[in-house]
């Protein structure tokens, strides 16, 4: 019987710079095995199907097509983990080893542990790798072995470590060693086609080739101005690679090394590039924090803020979700999220601060809403970002420093360009009023085609009052 090495794809939907694939091919070459790709369709996918799933399955489809071009099919199994993997044992080939890139946190970590145990009990060798981050959760630590809680010293240590090289996958080997058992995985094929039939969005830039192109475009045209421009949502000055990184369509090692090539071309100096690399390190930092605080999706990392008296008023939460707060920058940002499944980083900070401080709504609700809406939803970065904004994380904004949404708007969208792109009812409102349209007189509302209370809401809360209240609530909690 054929011996087969299985590459279990999960959130690493690419064929380049892929550790598990690299090692599966290397091993197969030496041991005379064939190699197949595998994807496990989890039954929970029948319960929920959000924009994130739509994006994910289109990315997976792209991987399947690309792999097929190299005669390297990706097969599908379905059902609960063990029963799904049993399907592998029932085929007319022998599974020699399963190779995969591991999840270090959350549901994936637990799933990996139980599947590992099960595979090993069936005498199947398992090889798993840290691949989704430049440095895995355990790699960056203090000299005494303890973990960092604050980004700056973490980053200093992160920067001092040697960076892993790119794991280039030889596509010729992929064609030589790939084996096709499609006829034995018909049920899985059908389940995959069913999922694709639920995808309704038109994604223009899906898959590995688009990811590489987008990264190259950013590095060759924008990275040197990243430092000055990245906080201005209307400038389109960030790389927008987060959905690719999240689904593993792009490897963070590739991002790092491509950035380094550009640095070299630029004579070794670029503040923009340095800042960009540090952002990529934030991703590793939050993965490490999540690993160290496995319950942080549900619980404040900072114990002193566990049990805050959050506002239970659903009305506020609804207004925030729908972009009806009466603060244009917040509303435009929420509409960006609801429309394209992505939001600019500055705006994520603004809306998260607004929800947790101006509305005093529980950060968990915001975190959950982002999970439903973001195509780049990454539990670690999202929890980290929310706990940062809510002042409950390890390296959080102090609770008494509350973002003023109007000042943020004036500073980072001075002409109201971004606001107008998502709130067309404000398109004729001049710069003077774009950040606070409710200040227009009745005549001005007439003149600028925007009636407050009809076309656009009054501010739902007074920032000054709510800021004071939030600080009091945090102080009370701290002293309790
Ligand atoms: P760039 O500015 O081009 O940065 C490049 C890459 O660096 C990003 O793609 C991302 O992988 C990483 N990065 C940048 N900033 C951060 C950061 N603060 N934390 C962690 N990684 C970072 N990022 C996610 O990928 N998924 C999330 O679910 C997520 N939720 C967030 C929630 C909140 C409340 C906040 C404040 C931030 C969140 N972020 C999240 C971080 C950040 O907003 C996005 O990574 C960034 O906006 C993605 O756009 P970009 O690729 O153009 O970023």
Provide the pLDDT for residue 215.
98
Catalytic annotation present for 310: yes
Catalytic annotation present for 342: no
Instruction: Quote the crossing angle between the two packed helices 252-265 and 208-221, to the nearest 10°.
Output: 30
Among candidate residues 286, 300, 257, 273, the one with its CA nearest the CA of residue 140: 286
Catalytic annotation present for 158: no
Mutating to test ligand 1, I would choose from 363, 376, 383 the residue with most ligand atoms within 8 A of its C-beta, which is: 376
For the annotated binding site for FAD, the residues are: 226, 238-242, 276, 279-286, 376-378
Regarding an ipTM greater than 0.85, the answer is yes
Burial of 477 (0-12, 13-18, 19+ CB in 10 A): middle
Provide the pLDDT for residue 478.
87
Instruction: Calculate how far, in angstroms, residue 77's C-alpha sits from the geometric centre of ligand 1.
Output: 32
Residue nearest ligand 1's atom 13 by CA: 279
Instruction: Calculate how far, in angstroms, residue 242's C-alpha sits from the geometric centre of ligand 1.
Output: 6
Among candidate residues 465, 319, 471, the one with its CA nearest the CA of residue 391: 471
Residue 146 region, left (φ>0) first, then alpha (ψ -120 to 50), else beta?
Answer: beta
Mutating to test ligand 1, I would choose from 135, 231, 345 the residue with most ligand atoms within 8 A of its C-beta, which is: 345
Provide the pLDDT for residue 254.
98
- Domains belonging to the chain, first-starting first, are 2-131+179-197 (3.40.50.620), 303-479 (1.10.579.10)
For residues 211 and 249, is the Cβ–Cβ distance under 8 A? yes
Provide the pLDDT for residue 371.
97
Provide the pLDDT for residue 2.
87
Catalytic residue chosen out of the listed positions 2, 116, 338, 345: 345
Give the span between the Cα atoms of 15 and 152, in whole angstroms.
34
Provide the pLDDT for residue 354.
98
Each residue's pLDDT, cut to its tens digit, for the chain (480 residues) gives 689 999 999 999 999 999 999 999 999 999 999 999 999 999 888 788 999 999 999 999 999 999 999 999 999 999 998 899 999 888 889 999 999 999 999 999 999 999 999 999 999 999 999 999 999 999 999 999 999 999 999 999 999 999 999 999 999 999 999 999 988 999 999 999 999 999 999 999 999 999 999 999 999 999 999 999 999 999 999 999 999 999 999 999 999 999 999 999 988 788 999 999 999 999 999 999 999 999 999 999 999 999 999 998 999 999 999 999 999 999 999 999 999 999 999 999 999 999 999 999 999 999 999 999 999 999 999 999 999 999 999 998 999 999 999 999 999 999 999 999 999 999 999 999 999 999 999 999 999 999 999 999 999 999 999 999 999 999 999 888
For residues 312 and 365, is the Cβ–Cβ distance under 8 A? no
Provide the pLDDT for residue 90.
86
Provide the pLDDT for residue 479.
85
Residues having CB closer than 6 A to ligand 1 are: 230, 238-242, 245-246, 279-280, 282-283, 286, 345, 348-349, 352, 370, 374, 376-378, 381-382, 385-386, 389
Catalytic annotation present for 345: yes
Provide the pLDDT for residue 259.
97
Catalytic residue chosen out of the listed positions 8, 158, 320, 386: 386
Residue nearest ligand 1's atom 20 by CA: 283
Catalytic annotation present for 279: yes
Catalytic annotation present for 282: yes
DSSP class of 210: H
Instruction: Quote the crossing angle between the two packed helices 379-389 and 363-373, to the nearest 10°.
Output: 150
């Amino acid at each position: 019987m054929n011996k087969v090495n299985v590459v279990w794809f999960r959130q690493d939907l690419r064929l380049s710079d892929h550790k598990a694939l690299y090692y599966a091919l290397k091993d197969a070459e030496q041991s005379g095995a064939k190699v197949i790709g595998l994807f496990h369709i989890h039954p929970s996918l029948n319960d929920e199907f959000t924009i994130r799933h739509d994006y994910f399955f289109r990315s997976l489809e792209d991987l399947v097509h690309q792999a097929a071009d190299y005669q390297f099919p990706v097969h599908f199994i379905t059902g609960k983990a063990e029963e799904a993997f049993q399907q592998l044992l029932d085929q007319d080939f022998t599974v020699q080893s399963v190779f995969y890139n591991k999840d270090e946190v959350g549901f994936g970590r637990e799933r990996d542990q139980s599947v590992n145990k099960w595979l090993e009990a069936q005498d199947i060798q398992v090889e798993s790798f840290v691949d989704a981050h430049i440095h895995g959760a355990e790699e960056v630590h203090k000299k005494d072995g303890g973990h960092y809680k604050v980004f700056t010293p973490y980053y200093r240590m992160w920067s001092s470590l040697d960076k892993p090289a790119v794991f280039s996958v030889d596509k010729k080997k992929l064609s030589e060693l790939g084996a096709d058992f499609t006829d034995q995985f018909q049920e899985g094929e059908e389940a995959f086609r069913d999922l694709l039939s639920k995808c309704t969005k038109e994604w223009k830039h899906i898959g590995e080739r688009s990811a590489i192109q987008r990264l190259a475009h950013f590095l060759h045209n924008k990275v040197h101005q990243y430092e000055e421009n990245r906080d201005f949502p209307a400038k389109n000055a960030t790389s927008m690679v987060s959905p690719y990184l999240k689904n593993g369509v792009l490897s963070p090692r590739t991002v790092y090394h491509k950035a380094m090539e550009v640095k070299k071309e630029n004579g070794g100096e670029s503040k923009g590039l340095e800042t960009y690399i540090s952002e990529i390190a934030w991703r590793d930092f939050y993965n490490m924090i999540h690993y160290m605080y496995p319950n942080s999706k549900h619980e404040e990392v900072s114990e002193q803020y566990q049990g805050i008296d959050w506002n239970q008023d659903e009305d506020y939460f609804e207004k925030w979700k729908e972009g009806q707060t009466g603060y244009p920058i917040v509303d435009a940002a929420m509409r960006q999220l609801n429309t394209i499944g992505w939001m600019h980083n500055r705006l994520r900070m603004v809306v998260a601060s607004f929800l947790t401080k101006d509305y005093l709504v529980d950060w968990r609700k915001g975190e959950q809403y982002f999970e439903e809406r973001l195509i780049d939803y990454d539990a670690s970065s999202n929890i980290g970002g929310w706990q940062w904004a809510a002042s409950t994380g390890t390296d959080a904004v102090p609770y008494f420093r509350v973002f003023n949404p109007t000042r943020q708007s004036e500073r980072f969208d001075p002409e109201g360009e971004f606001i107008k792109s998502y709130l067309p009812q404000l398109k004729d409102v001049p710069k003077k009023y774009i950040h606070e349209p409710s200040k227009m007189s009745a005549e001005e509302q007439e003149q600028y085609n925007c009636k407050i209370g009809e076309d656009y809401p009054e501010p739902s809360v007074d920032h000054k009052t709510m800021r004071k209240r939030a600080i009091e609530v945090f102080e009370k909690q701290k002293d309790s």
